[in-house]
Amino acid sequence: ASHYPTDTTCSPSPTATREDDGVLLSVGRYGAAGSSYLLILNATTMTTIATASSPVVMPSDFHGEWFSA
């Protein structure tokens, strides 16, 4: 369905007891709509917890790039 996620960043739960106890954050790009979003996944089950639309299209190589607010 033309979704292109970037590398994930792990955010552990403050009360984690296992290595995968937390969430994974990834910027996704929806190619058909030409839009970007934040994807939040449960790190244990890899199921989607939430998505949040971005007001700007973020390139898939956003590492080390800065965008004005």
Does the pLDDT value for residue 64 go beyond 60?
A: no
pLDDT number for residue 67: 64
pLDDT tens profile 12-59:
999 999 999 999 999 888 877 788 999 999 999 999 999 999 988 877
Q: How far is it, in rounded angstroms, from Cα 59 to Cα 11? A: 22
Q: How confident is the model at residue 61 (pLDDT cuts 50, 70, 90)?
A: low
* Closest alpha carbon to 50 in 42, 59, 58, 61: 42
Residue 60: per-residue pLDDT: 65
- pLDDT, residue 41, reads 95
Which pTM value belongs to this model?
A: 0.75
